[in-house]
Amino acid sequence: MALFNWAFARRHGGQFLLRIEDTDQARSTGESEQVIFDALRWLNLDWDEGPDVGGPHGPYRQSERREIYARYSEKLVSGGHAFPCFCSKERLDQVRSAQQAAKQTTRYDGHCLNLAPDDVSARLSAGETHVIRMCVPDEGECTFKDELRGEITIPYSQVDMQVLVKSDGMPTYHLAVVVDDHLMGITHILRGEEWVTSVPKHKLLYEYLGWQMPVLIHLPLLRNPDQSKLSKRKNPTSVTYYRDEGFLPEALLNYLGLMGYSMPDEREIFSKQDMLEVFDESRISVGAPIFDPVKLAWLNGQYLRAMDADEYAARVASWMLNKERLSALVPLVQERAEKLSDLMPLVDYLVGARKALSEEDFQHKSLERKDVVQVLHHTLAEFDKQRSWERDELFELCQKMAQHLDLKFRDFLFPLFIAISGRSVSLPLFDSLIFLGADLSRWTLVDNALTRNFAFDDFVAAFAFMTKVALLAEKADHHPSWHNVYNTVKISLNTHDAGNTVTDKDIALATDINACIA
């Protein structure tokens, strides 16, 4: 998305703004923000305004614009275009369940829309927990134009009365993005096609506030080779992963440029500047581009072979032998090495030379196969949720998981040692995880262990989500059906562990659970 936005702005003499959309405080951290900066800088995609460079439209972090959003939410409420909603989570869950049972579109039922003004004032004065929702017409439809897809029509019966301000006072994406795009003078919006169904909400907000909506261009989403939406479980999705694996920024940009776009002369290898000089948004395809790591590796190889020997050596040095990486390696190897040539055998797995593993490599006298599976899946699930990547935090997290699985800590760590290093004795595991970083560590677990050696059917894969199911089951008062789901899966898994045949019903259940929880 960033590449096409950058190319569009530069081609048309516009400004490219970097805005940090961090209204989800639980997911947004200083570390995640820095990852964005680092990735864009590594790709050489420069911006004209942003939180680090300033500009006339700041602040550029949505978390710092809370008072601005509050003014416009109040304006929407006073104008009759939004309203306070006091509905509890329990009530909303019941409404949603009833709609699902009736095979209806799940949406807010307007319960608080027509509350008496005196009642609303009294409840607000009492400090009752509430959100602010937008009004949506009861009937009719919304028609809008997408520059690539033409006119699109969505009935209002399919549009939810979206929450605009959460109970903690923070705006949702929908209010923040409309306010920011207007106040920052955004004329064209290039974003993923998954936002097409949100346009009616945004169009209404523009109309309610008396503003003109920017031109819309919804870009196609990248797909895995099996046509599923690109996800980190099937392909690495982080730019920093490709940087750390030794891909070149110009090769990755070139490949991303091929995703949904073609040069007028149909060539496959082109620079960022080549693309900029002829960029025409009408050449963007709405088809689902396939992200193929093999094709990317081939393209990266073309760039490497086009270099002279001096440039190639300089790139290798800047990637692997730079002072920062060596400084991180030295403490790990200095006390273990007897000569300088010991360096590479000790750190080979940290710089790309990872042994191809088989299931036999994970065999352990104290662990059954299902134990190994649980360790790998639970660890990956928990690593996916980590917003920071610190040694002590990872150590404590693994200790808790070992206790949860009723395993000795040393036994719990064994499959992780194997998956990360390819051997049972290696440099300290948690130091290795820190050196590799979050993205490379996660993908090593996926690619080197789970995908290659423990790629079971949907039924067994459902076990990866058992912790999440258990958490939902704890909320039985809110979700009584989850007790049945949890117990049924436990029974089915015990049956499977006993060596009995997994039935089609079991697999169907597991598939449904995967779909619900993923």
Tens digit of pLDDT for each residue in 43-53? 999 999 999 99
**CA angle 188-189-191, nearest 5°?**
155
Helix (H, G, I), strand (E, B) or coil at 122: helix
* Terminal Cα distance for the chain, rounded: 24
**What number is the average pLDDT over the span 88-110?**
92
**What share of the chain has pLDDT > 90, as a percent?**
57
What's residue 350's pLDDT? 86
One-letter amino acid for residue 323 of the chain: K
| Between 274 and 457, residue with greater pLDDT | 274
pLDDT of residue 335: 87
pLDDT value at residue 325 = 81
- With beta carbons less than 8 A apart as the criterion, state whether 465 and 512 touch: no
Cα Dmax for the chain: 81
Please give the single-letter amino acid code of residue 159: V
Confidence band for 234, pLDDT divided at 50, 70 and 90? low
Mean of pLDDT values over 447-457: 59
- What does the pLDDT average to over 162-166? 96
Element (H, E) at 188: strand 188-192
Q: Which residue has the higher pLDDT, 181 or 330?
A: 181
Q: Which of 232, 468, 475, 490 is catalytic?
A: 232
Walk me through the domains of the chain, giving residue ranges and CATH numbers: 1-219 (3.40.50.620), 239-318 (1.10.1160.10), 445-515 (3.30.1360.20)
- pLDDT greater than 50 at residue 492: no
User: What tokens does 277 get?
Assistant: 């000089």
CA 28 from centroid of its chain's CA atoms? 12
| CB contact at 8 A, 217 and 284 | yes
pLDDT at 445 over 60: yes
Q: Distance (Å, rounded) from C-alpha 404 to C-alpha 53?
A: 46
| Res 352: pLDDT | 75
Q: Which is more confidently placed, 464 or 416?
A: 416
Name the CA radius of gyration of the chain, rounded.
Answer: 26
Residue 233 is predicted with a pLDDT of 61
Over residues 441-451, mean pLDDT: 77
- Per-residue pLDDT tens for 282-338? 999 888 888 888 999 999 999 999 999 999 999 998 887 778 888 888 888 888 889
What integer pLDDT is reported at residue 491 of this predicted model? 46
Mean pLDDT of the chain: 85
| pLDDT digits 0-9 by tens, 241-281 | 899 889 999 999 999 999 988 899 999 999 999 999 999 99
Q: Calculate ∠ Cα 420-252-301, nearest 5°.
A: 80
232 is catalytic: yes
Q: What is the mean pLDDT of residues 11-35?
A: 86
The pLDDT of residue 499 is: 39
Give the separation between CA 353 and CA 330, rounded to whole angstroms.
18
> At 109, is the pLDDT very low, low, confident or very high (cuts 50, 70, 90)?
very high
pLDDT at residue 271, rounded to an integer = 93
- For the segment 28-54, the average pLDDT, to the nearest whole number, is 91
Averaged over 499-515, what is the pLDDT?
46
Q: Is the pLDDT of residue 221 over 60?
A: yes
pLDDT value at 2 more than 60: yes
Could you write out the DSSP letters of every residue in 245-287?
Answer: TT--HHHHHHHHHHSS---TT--S---HHHHHHH--GGG---S
pLDDT at 228 over 90: no
Q: At what angle do helices 249-258 and 2-11 cross, to 10 degrees?
A: 90
CA distances from 364 to 163, 210, 367, 370 (A): 51, 67, 5, 12
Confidence of residue 150 (pLDDT cuts 50, 70, 90): very high
Which of 66-70, 164-168, 358-362, 495-499 has the lowest average pLDDT? 495-499
Which pLDDT belongs to residue 451? 63
